Amino acid sequence: MKVYLFCLLLMLTPGGVLGMEFDLMKKQGDVGNTLLVIGGIQGDEPGGFNAAALLATRYRIAKGTLWIVPNLNFASIIKRSRGIHGDMNRKFDFLSKSDPEYHLVEEIKTIITDPQVDLVLNLHDGSGFYRTSYVDRLHNPDRWGQSCIIDQSRLAGVPFGALAEIGQRVTQQANQGLIDPAHRFNLKNTRTRLEDPQMSQTLTFFAIENNKPAFGIEASKSFRTNVRVYYHLLFLEAYMKELGISFRRDFELSPQGVKQALNQDILVALNDHKIQLDISDIRAQLNYVPLKKGAKLEFDSDNPLVAVLPYRNKYRIHYGNNRMGFLRPQYFEYDDSLDSVRVTVDGLSREFEMGSIVSVEKSFLVDTPPGYRVNIIGFTRKGVRNEKGLRVRKKDIISRYSIDKGGKIFRVEVYRNDKFAGMLLIDFRAVQQKVKLLARTNLEDGHELKGFPAH
């Protein structure tokens, strides 16, 4: 199984991003049906795009195929906006070529109409709780939250065209996992062709018009993000079972399990993986980050909701709607002569690639070939400039120099003369020894690093 990413950031201004492409991520198992899942068409609906991102990064497919677009309107996600150029989900009927999102809409249309796609899901967060009759201002027929949406009851002549039947069956299955009975989902038929001209401009109706069964899923905005994601995943798994797609995930499907999955091991690699950061608990600002002089900043992440964008004389790290922190750069020439260094971790010596995050329980010691200098950020010893070969414990490093707010992850930088050769992170959070290294398979599969000019 491979994951394919296709994403380049397009246009910049000094204050931010004007336009950003989306990712298409494919997860292939044995031969079977193909489900297309789309999140982030509206940038202020984190339940939908975070659920799609977890599906892309934390699920493994044994049979069938998933196509996932987790960040369709990525620029609006970054800006925490429903749509910085208007509502993208009202641009699927007619759209002028002068619209800034014209090429994005045309590209997702091409994906939707691909012959391999059997069924389309568009993930949203909606207001209140949809009910078939009026209960109160949050529970009534005009609300969208906690609904499975169809545009019509049936799409004739295509597999999975029994939209109402499938929607009812999947909704019943998802409702078996409710946290509270008051959270129940209902099927909502907008009867778009007959009753709702505005809905005729939406992504799902475009799919219907092109003989693709399509459903919208709306989790209520009354819930925290992890609860919304939990409910989206209940539906996603129900639809995968409906299509005969078999899968595994590496976290517990519960609100708490989802919360942990959303907030752990969020990695971003910079400049050909010379630097890797775990941004899960990153400080508000990291100072003197050694970036490449005179070159664009390249970054890579296995999480499609991560971006590193220029902001004034710094870079700002984004994770979905969240602004995680700033990188304040210090520019160096880069030295590419050293791919790995030897580190003794709790008495055991081994080689670690540059960019590795190394778990340590008690102590570590970094060794390099002659001619290289080791700088452990936050560690000082009188008269010592090169910290190569020194046994260092957590208590020897000043906590405020950690990259994380918890004071447990520290930078080890390696230099050759005045050139930067690479970085390791020493992680004192976990007792078990492991190495976290962002996989390079994305690059091997043709994914280009996302890049921005140096300041």
Helices (H), 113-224: 163-175, 192-195, 203-209
Whether 172 has a pLDDT exceeding 80, the answer reads yes
Residue 375 to residue 386: CA distance in whole angstroms: 6
> What strands, in cross-sheet order, belong to the sheet with 267-270?
275-278, 267-270, 297-300, 450-452
Q: For 62-78, what is the mean pLDDT? A: 98
The domain boundary, picked from 242, 262, 282, lies at: 262
**Average pLDDT for the chain:** 92
Specify whether 218 is located in the same domain as 361: no
Q: Which residue has the tokens 């304040």?
A: 328
Q: Which of 234, 262, 290 is the last residue of a domain?
A: 262
Does 14 lie in the same domain as 152? yes
Q: Is the pLDDT of residue 368 over 70?
A: yes
Which tens digit of pLDDT belongs to each residue from 238-291?
999 999 999 999 999 999 999 999 999 899 999 999 999 999 999 999 999 999
Q: pLDDT > 70: what percent of the chain?
A: 90
pLDDT at 448: 40
Which of 328, 355, 349, 347 is CA-nearest to residue 414?
A: 355
Same-domain check for residues 164 and 140: yes
Residues 63/16, Cβ–Cβ less than 8 Å: no
**SS3 readout for 50-94:** HHHHHHHHHEEEEEEEEEEECCCCHHHHHCCCCCECECHHHCCCC
How far, in Å, CA of 103 to CA of 109, rounded? 10
Confidence class of residue 197 from pLDDT cuts 50, 70 and 90? confident
Coil/strand/helix, residue 397: coil
On whether both 363 and 392 belong to a single domain, the answer is: yes
Same domain, 231 and 293: no
Q: How many domains does the chain have?
A: 2
Q: Does 34 map to a domain? A: yes
Residue 1 lies in a domain: no
Is the pLDDT reported for residue 422 higher than 60? yes
When mean pLDDT is compared across 82-91, 214-223, 269-278, 442-451, the lowest value belongs to 442-451
Same structural domain, 158 and 220: yes
Average pLDDT over residues 110-128: 98
Beta bridge partners of 68: 25, 37
pLDDT, greater one: 2 or 281? 281
Mean pLDDT of 63-85: 97
- Does residue 437 carry a pLDDT above 80? no
Burial of 111 from C-beta contacts in 10 A (0-12 / 13-18 / 19+): middle
**Closest to 83 in 3D by CA, of 93, 73, 91, 92:** 73
Query: How much is the pLDDT for 414?
Result: 98
The pLDDT assigned to 435 comes to 61
Residue 3 covered by a domain: no
Is residue 4 situated within a structural domain?
Answer: no
Q: What is the per-residue pLDDT for 10?
A: 33
The secondary structure of residue 272, as a DSSP letter, is T
Q: What is the pLDDT of residue 196?
A: 84
What CATH number is given to the structural domain containing 43?
3.40.630.10
Res 14 pLDDT > 90: no
pLDDT value, residue 439: 58
Written as one letter, the residue type at 64 is: G
- Residue-range definition of the domain harbouring residue 249: 9-262
Asked if residue 5 has pLDDT above 60, the reply is no
Residue 143: count other Cβ atoms within 10 Å of its Cβ: 22
Give per-residue pLDDT as tens, 331-347.
999 999 999 999 999 99
pLDDT on residue 444: 32
Q: Does the pLDDT of residue 454 top 90, yes or no?
A: no
Considering the domain architecture, whether residues 258 and 274 belong to the same structural domain is answered as: no
| 285 and 403 together in one domain | yes
Same domain, 241 and 383: no
The pLDDT > 90 percentage for the chain reads 89
Asked whether residue 228 is domain-assigned, the answer is: yes
**Residue 194 falls inside a structural domain:** yes
Please measure the distance between the N-terminal and C-terminal CA atoms of the chain and give it in whole angstroms: 38
Q: Are residues 186 and 276 in the same domain?
A: no
Q: Is residue 75 part of a domain?
A: yes
Instruction: Tell me the CA distances in angstroms from 130 to 186, 250, 370, one per residue in order.
Output: 7, 32, 68
For residues 206 and 354, state if they share a domain: no
Tokens of 339: 């791919």
The strands making up 435-436's β-sheet, listed across from edge to edge, are: 372-376, 409-416, 419-427, 357-359, 435-436
* CA–CA distance, 358 with 426 (Å, rounded to integer): 5
Q: How confident is the model at residue 450 (pLDDT cuts 50, 70, 90)?
A: low
**Residue 247 has which token pair?**
């899968």
- Looking at the structure, tell me whether residues 43 and 77 fall in a common domain: yes
Q: Between 233 and 12, whose confidence is greater?
A: 233
b/e 425-450 (16+ beta carbons within 10 angstroms → b): bbbbeeeeeeebbbeeebeeeebebb
Last residue of a domain, one of 214, 240, 262: 262
Question: How much is the average pLDDT of 349-359?
Answer: 97
Residues near 1 by Cβ (< 8 Å), separated by ≥ 6? 27, 28, 29, 60, 61
110 belongs to a structural domain: yes
